[in-house]
Structure 1
Amino acid sequence: MRTSLTIGSLRAIADLDPHFDEWELVDLAGWYGRPSILHDAEPIPGQHGFLPPTEVTYAGRYVYVTLRKRVQPHQDIRSHHWGEFSDIRIGVPYSMTVEDAAGALTTDVWLTEAPDFVIDTVEWWATVTLPLMAPDPRKYGPARPLRISATPETTNGLEFPLFEDGFLSFGPFDTGAGFGAGSFALHNHGSIESYPIYRVTGAIAGGFSILTDGGELKFAQTVPPGTELVLSPYAGGRAVLNGVDVTVSLTVADWVPVARGERRGFTFVPVGTASAGAELAVDFREAWI
């Protein structure tokens, strides 16, 4: 399978036969390597070396994408082909997907400076290099949606929230505890931790909690009918209700990731009654570094 690249509306394919219509993907410098490590290096007082780092993280990922295509001699080459990049602007986030034999992985990138555009008037190639930076260095697999009804269904006197589709499994937790009503598990077969994003639609009276081993998300406000509440660990950990920041009502905010290779259990617990159609939707993607 030939490697392909998509950034916004731009698409390129590796090892493409030379012609005038499509961009060939020449290089993806920085995509397959690991980004640099960040840590606080504190010197040992009066000695050589440093104290052990208390926190080690990855820096943002820098990717340099090189594309080329055949051009017609004597045409207004620069203006003709530059128009294909007019919607890729500095400082604007774009979703970039690379698909190869291992599958399709996606990350959000920013153009850090103007593309380098070169015309070879001997071989008649147009070559473009896009300098990109991914603030989040992780590369994400496809979304695996999970939906849980907030309205319990009664069967023989027992009430169970309904599960619909998704990357979900039932059975014992790794700790040996069993799943209860409203519980689900997420698996991360990737090489680095990944965080779920939660979307709750109302109405749910009094709020709800999402529980997991070592953490809790508690939203202490009614989710009105016909609205969507988004709980995301990104951008500092926010709660947004129909576009309005309501983080003040997120009274407990333990953002617990699903570690690499981990199968982690969660439980969704509405505080009050929920109307028909109220549900929790979980957006989760496995991640690689």
Structure 2
Amino acid sequence: MIVEVAGRRFRAVDRHPSGWWIHTNGLDEWWDSPETRFDDDPIPGQHGSFAPDAVLMSSRMFAFTGRHESVSAEWAEREIRTWAAAIAPRLDLGFSVYNAGRWLHLREAKIRGRVRVREITDRICEFQLPIWTHDPRKYTDQDSFKVSATVAPSGGLRFPVVDGSMSFGESGAVSFPGVFRVSNPGTADYFPTFKVSGALGGFTITSENRVIEYAAPVAAGQELVLSPYLGGLAALDGVDSSHNLTQAGWVPVNGEQTRGYFFNAIDPGLGAQLEVTYYPKGVFW
């Protein structure tokens, strides 16, 4: 096992030659699921409460405990406190864990609270980092693929759909012009990221009956990035162009689900394409 924090790696070996290692049971809380939250509204004059519409996950917080051995006596505590003070203000610690052949990454993890340090010997000190992240998911490594623009034939296009997904083609592959699939072998839902390159006169990205529609041109050499957050955002070469999103039917890829999409461009030029970023090894709670 490896833990990476702000570029520094900790190994699951006591007194690792690097001088930094994971303390025994120092990552136990990492494996716990985040707390659930939902409305608990009592039924007036009756036993129990109304059933909630959804069960949501809260932000994730846990402690990471490690140890450091210094080369010279009485330097370990000073080195830990100096390092912790330097990374404490960061908005993203770059916190990742490698275990069982894969990396799991937290999004914008931060130190929330006080870093505790205690001396074990004159050369070894133990520290505890209180880690917090607004997003409780654990993300595997990203990958991406590209989908060439396609023109909708007159009268519309029909293609087979099974359980919300095209019934042909592999995840991360394009098996029919404009048609692609994204799978999630994990347990937590997530949204793929879409980036569109011109030239084209507008486009739609459809999954089942949910549609993302951008009703404006994207010129050759321009890039449009689509985000599902805050109701749907679009940035054209870094400038907000969300007013051109006439439909924002974002839909996540749930755990253990494969979802199919159709990318349909208006008057696409040479090189017009959609780039899809996703997590082929899944996203987990």
Equivalent residue number for residue 219 of structure 2:
224
2:11 to 13, 26, 35: 13
1:284 to 255, 278, 281: 278
Equivalent residue number for residue 185 of structure 2:
189
Question: 1:167-246, aligned counterparts within 5 Å?
Answer: 173-175=161-163, 180-205=176-201, 207-234=202-229, 236-246=231-241
Unpaired segments ≥5 residues, structure 1? 153-170
Q: Is the 8 A contact 1:90 1:114 kept in 2?
A: no
Q: Is the 8 A contact 2:195 2:225 kept in 1?
A: yes
SS of the equivalent of 1:145 reads: strand
How big is each residue's C-alpha offset from its partner over 1:45-86, in whole Å with a ceiling of 9 and x where there is no partner?
Answer: 012321101121011111211110223554444433433335
Q: Give the AA of the match of 1:198.
A: F
Q: Is the 8 A contact 1:117 1:126 kept in 2?
A: yes
How big is each residue's C-alpha offset from its partner over 1:192-237, in whole Å with a ceiling of 9 and x where there is no partner?
Answer: 22211101112222x1100001311111111122221111223553
Equivalent residue number for residue 25 of structure 1:
22
Are 2:114 and 1:145 equivalent residues in the alignment?
A: no
| Alignment partners' CA distance in 1, 2:136 and 2:84 | 24
| Alignment partners' CA distance in 1, 2:44 and 2:150 | 60
Q: Is the 8 A contact 1:30 1:61 kept in 2?
A: no
Q: Give the AA of the match of 1:270.
A: A
Quote how far apart the aligned CAs of 1:113 are: 2.4
Question: 1:4-83, aligned counterparts within 5 Å?
Answer: 4-19=2-17, 21-26=18-23, 27-72=26-71, 74-83=73-82
SS of the equivalent of 2:83 reads: helix
Q: Give the AA of the match of 1:194.
A: Y
Unpaired segments ≥5 residues, structure 2? 152-158, 169-175
Q: Give the AA of the match of 2:87.
A: I
Q: Is the 8 A contact 2:166 2:259 kept in 1?
A: no
Equivalent residue number for residue 171 of structure 2:
none
1:274 to 259, 268, 272: 268
Q: Give the AA of the match of 1:191.
A: T
| Alignment partners' CA distance in 2, 1:144 and 1:217 | 22
Quote how far apart the aligned CAs of 1:267 are: 0.3
- Give the number of equivalent residue pairs: 266
Q: Give the AA of the match of 2:275.
A: A
User: Does 248-257 or 178-187 show the bigger shift?
Assistant: 178-187
Equivalent residue number for residue 155 of structure 2:
none
SS of the equivalent of 2:276 reads: strand
Quote how far apart the aligned CAs of 1:123 are: 5.8
RMSD: 2.4
| Alignment partners' CA distance in 1, 2:265 and 2:203 | 4
Quote how far apart the aligned CAs of 1:7 are: 2.2
Quote how far apart the aligned CAs of 1:149 are: 1.9
Percent identity among equivalent residues?
29
Q: Give the AA of the match of 1:30.
A: E
Q: Give the AA of the match of 1:274.
A: P
| Alignment partners' CA distance in 2, 1:30 and 1:282 | 33
User: TM-score, normalised on structure 1?
Assistant: 0.83
| Alignment partners' CA distance in 2, 1:22 and 1:279 | 48
| Alignment partners' CA distance in 2, 1:131 and 1:226 | 44
Equivalent residue number for residue 127 of structure 2:
128
